[in-house]
Structure 1
Amino acid sequence: MLKKNFKLALFITFLGIIGVISIMPYQFTFIKGMVDQLGDIPIPVVLALGVVQSTILVFILTNIALLVHKRTGLDAPHLRAWVNKTEQKPFSWKWVGIGILVSFFGSLLVFVLDSFVFLPQIDTTGIEQSPKPLWWQSLLAMFYGGITEEIMVRLFLMTIIVWILAKMTRKEGKSIPPIYFWIGILLSTLLFGVGHLPATIQLFGELTPILLLRALVLNGILGVWFGYLYWKKGLEYAMISHMAADVFLHVIFANLFT
């Protein structure tokens, strides 16, 4: 099993590192304003250490997920077939289109909620305005969200949650109740939102109930959809849909309306 998954794990890790490298120009916009906090550490060293750390993390998480995927049926079927040169089901462009369409409306909902519901209730007095990344920096960042985050949140976290539930109840494959997958979707999405709380605190200087709700809701709306795609169609569809959402939200809407 380890040997069978090794090539796929290497390839998925390679894709994940593309995402890590792609977000660097986006991160550099914010790091420039934190030079004093870095001390004597050169920015290139900080970025290089980040790549190494992320490479190790993604490789470990990918191997764990692929090791237990067989019980859950959650997988990256097209990538697996391509890497192992085996026969695969036709790629569904219909579902790619559905994924992009839902991402458009989901991103629009996130933008509207943040602009007209959450931000008006947040006191930003005294908060230093964050630098705005250039459009191309935000465009490149979609590879981190669409690939690297999907590897960590869906391929690893959601798979592990479903695997634990299936293992505890001795279920496998098609015998796993749909509720297990929904628990995996919702819990992994919730934890993803919780993972954004440190950035929220750094940005606003505190964590209030409205800021907590903002982080969980805005990061959760589309996360549920990505999890559903991963469950029903495969990791590839979740990745494409996530990349599309990042383009809509951080490139198109952010530059058209702000």
Structure 2
Amino acid sequence: MPSSTPKPRAIDWPLLLILLAGGLLGFLATIPLVVQWLPRLVSPGAKAEFQKNLPMPLPAVFALGFVQNAAIFGVAIAVGLVLGKKVGLGAPELEAWRAGSPRPGLARRLALAAIIGLGTGLLLIVLDAFLFLPRTGLELAKWMADVPLWKRLLAGLVYGGITEELICRFFLVTLLAWLLGKFWRTPSSQPDGQPTPGAIWTAILIATFLFALGHLPLAARLGELTPWLVARVLVLNGVAGTVYGYLYTRRGLESAMAAHAATHIPLQILAGTAASIAQSVS
């Protein structure tokens, strides 16, 4: 007699929709920042000319971007959900909640992750103020000072904390861990063994490097990509990405999100302080 136990679904569609909503919320959170920066990035000093040369009204550009990002995020989240089950990675807090058995101690785990994120943000401020800004100039700091704090915090907390973690950790680290695990897995229970710690760390570092590289185009718009400017982008984003990757693989997506969001609190609030310190030591 066939079993009446239902097979687990390959994709938890409600969870996918929840994560997709978070990712798209991050996209929307960048709009105030992008509206202020885009004319300067594309056509510095010529805002009217920039708007005139747009192929469609700016709201339509954002609407198209929303649809495109919905498709990209949807695929990335689906990959993370499917492959995460194979390599032991995922969003354990949300998954437990979806299963009807929330994990105790959630507030404590997220608070710890946030503290780690705050510490990471302070470390990045120190590195930037004393090592990189004095050697790369203060153009980026000036750009940041021109943007109201609420716009920077909104983009950092929501886009950085949610959207970037969905793409860089939930999708990319999971995919890389699964690929590396094909050749580098625990000897027990083969062929279905989990990726080894070495495979997981390699996935974290590759994803972190790609995460850092993704910030170079913006840096290039601020001036010449000198060795120090490239080092600044790679080191600062590399440090942060490694922390988030570690938390993702050890604690889950939610902890990585909490840490990433918290990093932006000192990073944005103390940006002016970092610039002042850099100016005094340069």
> Normalising by structure 1, what TM-score?
0.89
**Which residue is equivalent to 1:62?**
77
Mean alpha-carbon deviation: is it higher for 216-225 or for 172-181? 172-181
Paired amino acid for 1:253? L
Q: 1:169: how far off?
A: 3.9
Residue 112 of structure 1 is aligned with which of 123, 126, 138? 126
SS at match of 1:18: helix
Give runs of ≥4 in structure 1 deviating > 6 Å: none
Cα deviation, 1:140-173, whole Å, max 9, x if unaligned, reads: 1110000000000000000011000112345578
Residues 1:160 and 1:3: Cα distance change in structure 2 (over 3 Å): closer
Distance 1:66 1:15 in 2: 15
Task: Answer yes or no: is the 8 Å Cα contact 2:10–2:82 preserved in 1.
Answer: no
Q: What residue is the counterpart of 1:92 in the other structure?
A: 106
One-letter amino acid of the structure 2 residue matched with residue 121 of structure 1: R
Once the two structures are TM-superposed, the CA of residue 256 in structure 1 deviates from its matched residue by 5.2
In structure 2, relative to structure 1, the CA distance for the partners of 1:169 and 1:44 (3 Å cut) is: same
Q: CA deviation at 1:42?
A: 2.2
In structure 2, the partner of 1:26 is 33
Deviations 1:208-242 (A, max 9, x none): 22121111101111211111111111100110111
Q: Percent identity?
A: 35
The structure with more radius of gyration: 2
Residue aligning to 2:92? 77
**Structure 2 gap ranges (5+):** 1-7, 276-282
Give the TM-score, by structure 2 length: 0.82
After TM superposition, give the deviation of residue 128 of structure 1 in Å. Answer: 11
Match of 1:243 among 220, 243, 261: 261
Instruction: Give the match for residue 179 of structure 1.
Output: 198
Query: Compared with structure 1, are the counterparts of its residues 128 and 256 closer, same or farther at alpha carbon in structure 2 (3 Å cutoff)?
Result: closer
Query: How much does 1:6 deviate?
Result: 1.9
- The two structures, once aligned, show a CA RMSD in angstroms of 2.4
**Distance change >3 Å, CA 197–CA 256, structure 1 → 2:** closer
> What secondary structure, in the 3-state scheme, does the structure 2 residue paired with 1:88 have?
coil
Give me the whole-angstrom Cα distance separating, in 2, the residues matched to 1:208 and 1:139: 28
Residue number in structure 1 paired with 2:24: 17
For 1:231, the equivalent position in structure 2 comes to 249
- Superposed CA deviations along residues 160-209 of structure 1, whole A, max 9, x for unmatched, are 110001123455787432111111111111110011111111112x2222
**2:22 alignment partner, SS class:** helix
- Is 1:221 matched with 2:239? yes
- Aligned residues of 2:141 and 2:272 also touching (Cα < 8 A): no
2:184–2:199 contact (8 Å) kept in structure 1? no
Kept in 2, the 8 Å contact 1:135–1:255? The answer is no
Letter in 2 for 1:67: V
- Mapped to 1, the partners of 2:143 and 2:100 lie a distance apart of 48
Counterpart code for 1:17:
L
Aligned to 2:62: 47
| Residue 253 of structure 1 pairs with residue 270 of structure 2 | yes
Q: What secondary structure does 2:270 align onto?
A: helix
Name the structure 1 match of 2:143: 130
8 Å contact kept, 1:122–1:210: yes
Equivalent pairs counted in the alignment come to 254
